[in-house]
Structure 1
Amino acid sequence: MTNTSRSDATTKKTIEMVEVSPRDGLQNEQRAIATHDKLALIERAIASGARRIEVTSFVNPRAVPQMADAEAVCAGLPGRGDVTYIGLVMNMRGAERAIATGRIDQLGAVAVGTDTFAMKNQGQTSDGSVEACRNIIARAKDAGLTGQATIAASFGCPFEGEVEEDRVIAMATAIAEAGPVEIALADTIGVGNPAHVERLVARVREAIDPLPVRVHFHNTRGTGLANVWAAISAGASVVDASIGGLGGCPFAPGAAGNVATEDVTYMLERAGIETALDLDTLIETNRWLADVMGKDLPAMVSKAGGFPKPNISSTS
């Protein structure tokens, strides 16, 4: 494991990372990515230390063409008992598709903080999306899987603007009753700020205790890493990130790049917080993925490199 952190005598805190590049990282890209490249990305993520990976989404391929090969991706997943493969689903039809593959370990359901975005994203109201989440989590359990939920637009909506904190808390409380493994707060369009993040994460954490809070940030306005730090400070224990900083939502205008896995890893490890990820492998994967995508990727650490290694030469 690459030593990216300063050594100290204190007990290190650990943050669980969820790698979302194969799904959220690619879903909004116009360039069609071959199934074998998606599988190679997943294998490289595993080699970097990722043990929870959002591998695909089971959505209408007309709406999200990049995810049309969901079943093919699942068929090619390496058999790893130590890796949790997550499939994003928006409705029960998607849930049944994911379950039928026999390769998905966890269903990821989505609720949306506003009616307008919920209608564009899932064709139902915000309340309807909460009920759908609860049903998907129950179906996952029936199938012997686990379920988790993400509340999209927790920090702001591209159509309605401000989202009331009390609304997000009420949604999280209702979803928690279904027994997911965790609930995520997503800054879908990258409008969050650290003060808002710290306050909302703390309130949701208190409301759903003992369930963990996961966070999902986009770096659209340059606040992604600051928001990750604020969320962890407020008690979030799981962080979504995407290798290279790729990502975006097809139904949310301006929802550019996720926080980059290598950037988050560098920041946390240097601060003495363990991620179980290897930074050098992530940087190598960034360069490989840039070739696949045919463009430079947004992540900063892969451009600059990790913390300088000592280069001491002796003279006699």
Structure 2
Amino acid sequence: MMPIKTENFKTPIKLIECPRDAMQGLHDFVPTVLKIEYLNLLLKVGFDTLDFGSFVSPKAIPQMRDTEEVLAGLDLSGTTKLLAIVANLKGVENAVKHPEITYLGFPFSISETFQQRNTNSSIAQSLNTVEEMLNLCDKHSKTAVVYLSMGFGNPYGDEWNTDIVSHWANELVQKGVKIISVADTVGISTPDKINEILPPLVQLFSDTEFGLHLHSTPQQRLEKIEAAFAAGCTRMDSALKGFGGCPMAADDLTGNIATEDVISYLTSKGVQVNLDMEKWGEAMMFSGRVFSSR
């Protein structure tokens, strides 16, 4: 196990709950009213951000075709901010119309194969989309979150190494991206890779907020969580019970990091997570209605 430095927890840790990622690959459509009830429970827990939906083609991700309707039913009286995923300029234009949304997330893959598979565009074209997204975000008082997708390698045989990760992180920073989340996507990250990738990025780009969006089998979750915080992670994506995975990446989905494991780990280290654990328990119980039969 990697030693955890106490200074790693001096900066407030942002917990990003990702029900969108949890639900998007489900075969059967989750009724809109059920989504709204589930998300409203999660909003009461007190996470920094809720990755709640996406403005993408309903043909590509049919589960998210009701994002606008869901948004209209959310109780935003708390402090949790909303993040929506976009995959192209049309999605950006739709998302920025909604004042309730704070963050627009864009999956920028450093695997050419996956960028085509996920957004039907090349890496070069996607870099242009990022630039246009940043301009629209500025005009509409939004903040862009760019995911370095396939940041820990890829299953397609595309070239990958840490220099490639740093190169694309630099390209995004130079464009003006302020928040970058290094995304595992298919669950091939390891503690060694996390420690190899994250600290140099944080050191090189000190004005940029770096996070991790990891996928994992249940057996490997704890070691990845521990490695993430040992490496200085201050922004962590996760999903209740580890549900979800990227349906565009593989047929066999590797789930998200389980939020309850992140909470348990941080609590064991004496970190105040500042969450309403009673509401969290309610959301855990309610989740069976969303996921069990699907």
What's the TM-score once normalised by structure 1's chain length?
Answer: 0.84
Residue from 126, 129, 133 that aligns with 1:132: 129
Q: What corresponds to 1:258 in structure 2? A: 256
Number of aligned residue pairs: give it. Answer: 287
Residue of structure 2 in register with 1:304 after alignment: none
Following superposition, the deviation at residue 100 of structure 1 comes to 2.0
Which structure 2 residues correspond to residues 1-316 of structure 1 after superposition, within 5 A? 13=10, 14-21=12-19, 23-80=20-77, 82-160=79-157, 163-220=160-217, 222-253=219-250, 254-295=252-293
Aligned mates of 1:16, 1:136 — CA distance in 2: 23
Whether contact under 8 Å (1:243, 1:282) holds in the other structure is no
**In the TM superposition, what whole-angstrom CA distance separates every residue of 1:139-167 from its partner, at most 9, and x where no partner exists?**
11111111111111101212226621111
2:46, 2:80 within 8 Å by CA — same for their partners in 1? no
Letter in 1 for 2:136: R
> Any conservation in 1 of the 2:213–2:238 contact (CA below 8 Å)?
yes
Q: Deviations over 1:117-160 (max 9, x none)?
A: 11101112223323322321221111111111111110121222
Measured in 2, the distance between the counterparts of 1:165 and 1:276 equals 34
Structure number with the bigger relative contact order (C-alpha 8 A, sep ≥ 6) is 2
SS in 2 for 1:29: coil
Match in the other structure for 1:300: none
Report the Cα offset of residue 81 of structure 1.
6.2
What letter corresponds to residue 200 of structure 1 in structure 2?
Answer: I
Go from structure 1 to structure 2 and tell me whether the alpha carbon gap of 1:124 and 1:11 turns closer, same or farther (over 3 Å shift): closer
Instruction: Give the gaps of 5 or more residues in structure 2.
Output: 1-6
Gaps of 5+ in 1: 1-9, 297-316
Partner amino acid, structure 2, of 1:251: M
After superposing the two structures, state which structure 1 stretch, 267-276 or 88-97, moved more. 267-276
Query: In the superposition, relative to structure 1, how do residues 196 and 72 fare at CA in structure 2: closer, same or farther (>3 Å)?
Result: same
CA distance in 1, matches of 2:149, 2:95: 21
Equivalent residue number for residue 4 of structure 2: none
In structure 2, what is the Cα distance between the partners aligned to 1:224 and 1:135?
36
Larger Rg: 1
Structure 1 CA distance for aligned equivalents of residues 278 and 74 of structure 2 = 23
| Contact 1:137/1:148, CA 8 A, preserved across alignment | no
Residue identity matched to 2:98: T
Distance in 1 separating the partners of 2:229 and 2:8:
16
Q: Matched residue of 1:156: which SS?
A: coil
* Contact 2:178-2:207 at 8 Å conserved across structures: no
Q: Name the aligned partner's letter for residue 86 of structure 1.
A: L
Q: Which whole-Å CA distance do the structure 1 matches of 2:235 and 2:9 have between them?
A: 15
Q: Normalising by the residue count of structure 2, what TM-score does the alignment of the two structures yield?
A: 0.90
What is the CA RMSD across the aligned residues, in angstroms? 2.2
- Deviation, structure 1 residue 217: 0.8
